[in-house]
Every structure is written in structure tokens, then in C-alpha cells.
Amino acid sequence: MPKTLPAVPIVVSPPAVVDVSVCIAHWNCRELLRRCLESLYDQPQGVSFEVVVVDNASADGAADMVAAEFHRVTLVRNRENRGFSKANNQAAALARGRYLFFLNNDTVVPPDTLRKFLEFAEANPSVGMVGPRLRGGDGTAQISYRRRPTLGALLHRVSLLRWTGLFRRAYYDYRRDTFDPEGVRPVEVLMGAAVFLPRAVFEDSGRWDEQYRFGGEDIDLSTQVGRRRELVYVGDVEVVHYGRVSSRKNIGFSAPNVAIGYVHYFRKAGATPTALAVYKLFVTADAPVQCLAKCAQAATRLLRGRTDKARKSWLAARGLWHFMTRELVRFWRA
């Protein structure tokens, strides 16, 4: 009888290149991340893809959850919180995809979303970056693109100036007046919760600017890509975005870094030292005023039984307090 040879397992190596690499920077939102990954893997996406998760030293066991439940994910465990931009650049450096899809951990991706993005990008090779319609967990459309901010637009948010109405028009041009959830159109800034672009465009644009830790980096990337190529909003592709859940959960980190990120953006955009100093002065003077106002608002809402609203006001006050007591020096040095 012929000698029987032992069975040899067949190892199939993953392809050297995939269509799309989904890059997720994560910090302390384990259940949201689980839901996001389930939406990618448990539904057809119509393309070959991989997921790279960079965990910024989460304390909630998120990295262990990914390792145990999502074996196909490429997982990076940072020993410290390196910020959103650095983590995304780490993910991109490991990615094998022809296209990169930078995705917030507080999102859910419907079926065939990656296929729709890929088809649009390949049909429009001159486009630099694409963004979807963002829809909240309650079903309402979120602002998914906007214009680039100006110092005047952000000064309207300073309560010491808002009552004058001096910068109201600039603020609404920036935040509200230009958004229409329907259709396909070129835009100035795509929200960083979900952006899709060719790897070559990402590299040519200088990648994410790592001086941003959290806040403003999507404006910067949109600006850099937009210097050479068009940014396009595609309203018939949707991503569910539980907006601000992550930032509210980590308010002591997010609130100061958003303020610092805007200063860094304005400096890169060409604001004069005098203009930046005036902006910083107003923001600094306004912080205790807004902190007291948010505390009073939280107390009033609590007395009226609006517990959830009171919690949001209290979180805003905590973020302002952290900014004033721990991050003011870094804000002025930015």
C-alpha cells in the first residue's frame, strides 16, 4: 500500500494590496468601537478591505476586546495617548489599501458603503477626498461639510462678543448657511469622522499634521488636499455618527485641544501674531464667564428635571475648567 503522507495545512497569505484600508484611531470608547467593527465585518461591503485600529492607551479594555473578538484587525497598542493625528498616521503607515478610509470609532458603517466610495473615487480620479452624509443615531442629518473657519467666525462664539452681533454673519457662513444634506458637490472642509481618499493623495498632501492632538486636524487635511484637488461631499452615501460621544466622554482632553487646534490652524493659514494674540486674549477672558454660565445652566436644568441636558452642561463646564487650570499655558504657546 502507498505510504500515507501527513496532512499539511495550507496557509493562504493575505493579498499584498487590498482595495480599502479602514483606519481607526481609538481612545476609551470600547462599546462604540465594537459596534463600529461589527458594522464593517458583519455586513457586505463589496470590496476587499482591512481594518487597522490604533489604540491610544485606553483604560477601558478596548484593545483586549479587539484582540479577542476581531482577529482580522491589525491592532496597534500605544503606551500613551499620542493624539488623533499621530494615531491615524500610524494606521496609514501599516495600511495596504489603494484607498484609505479614516473613520471615527463612534460610527456605524452601513452595507456597501466602501463599495460606493470606491466606485465614486474610481469614476472621478481627479477628486482628492470624499466624504459621506453623516447621520446621527436619532436619524437626523449632521453637518457633514463646511467652509474653512475664520477668526471672525470663532470670535462669534465668545460670549463677551456674541451679544454685539459683530461676527454673526461670519459664524453662520461657516457653520450653517452652506450645508445642504442632499446631492453631490465640491466643498471646502469635510468632517473628519469619515473621509475617503487615495493613498497617493494622502501622502502627497503631507498626511495628518501631528501638531494637532484633537480638533482642527480635519480642517487642516481638507485644506492641504484642497490645494491641488477637489473635495467632494456625496450625499447618497451615509455613515451613522454618534457625534461628540467620544469627546464628551473624554472632555478634559478634548475641550482644551480643540481650542489649541484652532490656534494652530489659524497660524498655518497666515493669521498675524497680533490677530492671534487678540483671539487668545478674548478666549482666555471668556473661559471663566462661560464656565460659570454652564454651571448655572446645569443647576437650572437639574432643578427642572432635565437630567440629561444638565449632564451635558456640567461636562462643558468641566472642559472649560480643565482648559483654564491645566492647559492655558499650552494654549498661549500654540
Rounded-to-integer distance, Cα 328 and Cα 323, Å: 6
Give the pairing type, strands 97-103 and 107-108.
Answer: unpaired
Q: What is the DSSP string of 60-78?
A: SSHHHHHHHH-TTSEEEE-
Is-contact 212 85, C-beta < 8 A? Answer: yes
**AA letter at 185:** R
Distances (CA, A) of 27 to 1, 30, 36, 59: 61, 8, 14, 8
| pLDDT recorded at residue 17 | 78
Task: Please check whether residue 160 is in contact with residue 285, taking contact to mean a CB–CB distance below 8 angstroms.
Answer: yes
Report pLDDT digits (tens) over 76-132: 999 999 999 999 999 999 999 999 999 999 999 999 999 999 999 999 999 999 999
- The answer, yes or no, to whether residue 151 has pLDDT greater than 80, is yes
Q: How far lies 128's CA from each of 39, 131, 133, 194, in Å?
A: 26, 11, 17, 14
- pLDDT of 11 reads 33
Q: Mean pLDDT over all residues of the chain?
A: 91
pLDDT bucket at 16, cuts 50 / 70 / 90: low
Report the run of H or E that residue 92 belongs to, with start and end: helix 84-94
Q: How many beta carbons lie within 10 A of that of residue 57, not counting itself?
A: 13
Res. 176 pLDDT band, cuts 50 70 90: low
Q: How far apart are the first and last CA of the chain?
A: 80
| Separation of CA 131 from chain center | 12
> What are the DSSP calls for 217-268, one per residue?
HHHHHHHHHHTTSEEEEEEEEEEEE-TTHHHHHTHHHHHHHHHHHHHHHHHH
- The string over 287-325, giving b where at least 16 C-beta atoms fall within 10 Å of a residue's C-beta and e elsewhere, is beebbebbbebbeebeeeeeeeebebbbbbbbbbbbbbe
pLDDT in tens, 218-227: 999 999 999 9
DSSP 259-324: HHHHHHHHHHTT--HHHHHHHHHHHHHHHHHHHHHHHHHHHHHHHTT-HHHHHHHHHHHHHHHHHH
For the question of whether the overall pTM of this predicted structure is more than 0.85, the answer is yes
Asked whether the predicted pLDDT for residue 56 surpasses 50, the reply is yes
